[in-house]
């Protein structure tokens, strides 16, 4: 049954701005991504990803136009469109909404920003970003979606260029891991947070690709950090924590000392957290506040989750009452975030894609663990791959598992780290079997490099 709503997502302007956005995105991807790749096969991978994402834009437009009248994409676009129209008509008011805290809005601004997305700092920054992208396209959903396609592909190109320098996978396989993972193709398309996050991560990793520094790369890295901090701050904080832990862990060569460092860090943080200095001096960063926010997210997700229909899950025994509860639930959250939903848990079509991807990852992971733990192979990888990325992936998967409680939300949040997980796992497989094949002639993947 179709749902007809007052504010459709497609308007007459899309007939003009939509094709313009498509060809602009096509040009930008060709110039800033494809032209910089070395082999024909890698270019084909990018064009394949671009084609799929372009079709997904049209499919999502049809879906929201004729069936759905709600959801993040719907809300983000309509709020960004209203904010963009305000930018054209009253730039002073638009600037006030952009820079002023919502609690300080005047009566007119409160009326214009009645949607809840303006009250959250993360969603508000998505609206600001999208309202600026809409300047040439005015109120066109297709224009905005096609620009998001370019932003996500450019970010994935920069990230995969950074991982390529470690040479743990052939160049073609390395690109495929980042551009063709199904969850990435699906969830980093359209008007969502994820394309912006991939773009921001691309700005950061572009700064890390080589040691040649430039003012443009530095400014780009700052912009990337700024966007991630305001849209999904847990990604940035977990990345910083992972880097610090990896550096501390690398300082000592003894296993006993390494375990001792981890124990002392946890003990020191627990003692510091219970002290009055922590709450008085940095109450804004208090773990109590973080726990309250975590519980609020958990409760709201559980309220919107239908466990009987197979769309949600719970972490048994997790109450988020202390750091000990979080640590105790970490393993369950990690396994849930990495491998669920299982195939038998997928009672909705939207979850089936994630379930199939997770099944493949589960099989590959068991094989990788067998090679590393039983066969004692692939040990040399740990000297090639930066450890802080692995720690970051683990931390982020735990956070996502503890805060989602809905398989759709879990798949969307996890797509940020999904390419890194496949990259690590396939690197183990390639270290064992890669020498038996030459370069990019990977029979398993059925793609040849014809340069």
Q: What token pair was written down for 423?
A: 């990259």
Give the pLDDT of residue 283.
Answer: 39
Question: What is d(CA 115, CA 113) in angstroms, rounded to the nearest whole number?
Answer: 5
Q: What are phi and psi of 442, to 5 degrees?
A: -100, 105
Give the pLDDT of residue 181.
Answer: 92
Give the pLDDT of residue 441.
Answer: 40
**CA trace torsion 128, 134, 135, 138 (10° rounding):** -130
pLDDT confidence band for 252 (50 / 70 / 90): low
% pLDDT > 90, the chain: 22
Give the pLDDT of residue 94.
Answer: 80
Residues 167-220 pLDDT 10s: 888 999 999 999 999 989 988 888 889 999 999 999 999 988 877 778 888 899
Q: What would the DSSP string read from start to end of 322-383?
A: SHHHHHHTHHHHHHHHHHPSPGGG--SHHHHHHHHHHHHHHHHHHHHHIIIIIS---TTHHH
Residues 331-384 pLDDT 10s: 888 888 888 888 887 777 777 888 888 899 999 888 888 877 766 666 666 665
The least confident of 61-75, 145-159, 233-247, 290-304 is: 290-304
Question: What is d(CA 314, CA 161) in angstroms, rounded to the nearest whole number?
Answer: 37
Give the pLDDT of residue 272.
Answer: 43
Residues 111-147 pLDDT 10s: 666 667 777 777 888 888 988 888 887 788 999 999 9
- Which is more confidently placed, 401 or 106? 401
Residue 280 is given by DSSP the state H
- Which is more confidently placed, 350 or 279? 350
Give the pLDDT of residue 125.
Answer: 87
Show the CA angle centred on residue 150, arms to residues 149 and 154, nearest 5°. 120
Helical residues (DSSP H) of 138-275, grouped into ranges:
141-164, 171-179, 182-187, 193-208, 215-231, 233-251, 255-274
pLDDT confidence band for 446 (50 / 70 / 90): very low
């Amino acid at each position: 049954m179709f749902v007809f709503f007052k504010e459709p997502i497609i308007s007459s302007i899309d007939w003009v701005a939509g094709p313009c956005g498509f060809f602009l995105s096509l040009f930008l991807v060709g110039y800033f991504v494809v032209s910089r790749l070395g082999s024909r096969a890698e270019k084909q991978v990018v064009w394949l990803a671009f084609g799929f994402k372009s079709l997904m834009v049209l499919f999502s437009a049809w879906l929201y136009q004729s069936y759905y009248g709600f959801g993040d994409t719907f809300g983000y676009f309509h709020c960004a469109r209203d904010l963009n129209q305000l930018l054209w008509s009253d730039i002073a008011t638009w600037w006030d909404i952009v820079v002023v805290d919502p609690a300080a809005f005047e009566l007119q601004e409160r009326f214009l920003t009645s949607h809840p997305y303006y009250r959250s700092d993360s969603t508000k920054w998505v609206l600001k970003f999208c309202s600026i992208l809409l300047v040439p396209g005015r109120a066109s959903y297709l224009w905005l979606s096609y620009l998001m396609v370019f932003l996500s592909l450019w970010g994935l190109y920069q990230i995969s260029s950074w991982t390529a320098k470690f040479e743990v996978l052939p160049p073609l396989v390395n690109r495929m891991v980042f551009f063709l993972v199904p969850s990435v193709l699906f969830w980093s398309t359209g008007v969502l947070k994820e394309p912006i996050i991939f773009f921001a991560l691309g700005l950061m990793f572009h700064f890390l690709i080589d040691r040649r520094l430039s003012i443009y790369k530095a400014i780009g890295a700052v912009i990337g950090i700024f966007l991630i901090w305001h849209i999904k701050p847990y990604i940035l904080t977990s990345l910083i924590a992972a880097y610090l832990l990896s550096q501390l862990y690398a300082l000592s060569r003894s296993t006993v000392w390494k375990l001792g460092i981890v124990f002392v860090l946890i003990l020191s943080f627990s003692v510091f957290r219970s002290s009055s200095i922590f709450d008085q001096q940095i109450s804004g960063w208090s773990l109590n506040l973080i726990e309250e926010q975590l519980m609020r997210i958990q409760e709201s997700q559980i309220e919107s989750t239908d466990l009987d229909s197979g769309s949600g899950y719970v972490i048994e025994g997790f109450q988020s009452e202390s750091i000990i509860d979080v640590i105790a639930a970490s393993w369950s959250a990690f396994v849930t975030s990495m491998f669920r939903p299982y195939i038998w848990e997928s009672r909705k079509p939207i979850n089936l894609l994630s379930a199939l991807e997770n099944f493949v990852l589960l099989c590959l992971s068991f094989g990788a663990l067998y090679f590393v733990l039983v066969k004692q192979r692939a040990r040399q990888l740990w000297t090639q791959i930066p450890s802080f990325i692995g720690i970051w992936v683990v931390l982020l998967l735990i956070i996502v598992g503890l805060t989602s409680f809905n398989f759709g939300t879990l798949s969307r949040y996890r797509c940020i780290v999904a390419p890194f997980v496949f990259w690590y796992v396939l690197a183990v497989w390639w270290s064992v079997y890669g020498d038996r094949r030459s370069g990019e002639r990977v029979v398993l993947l059925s793609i040849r490099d014809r340069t």
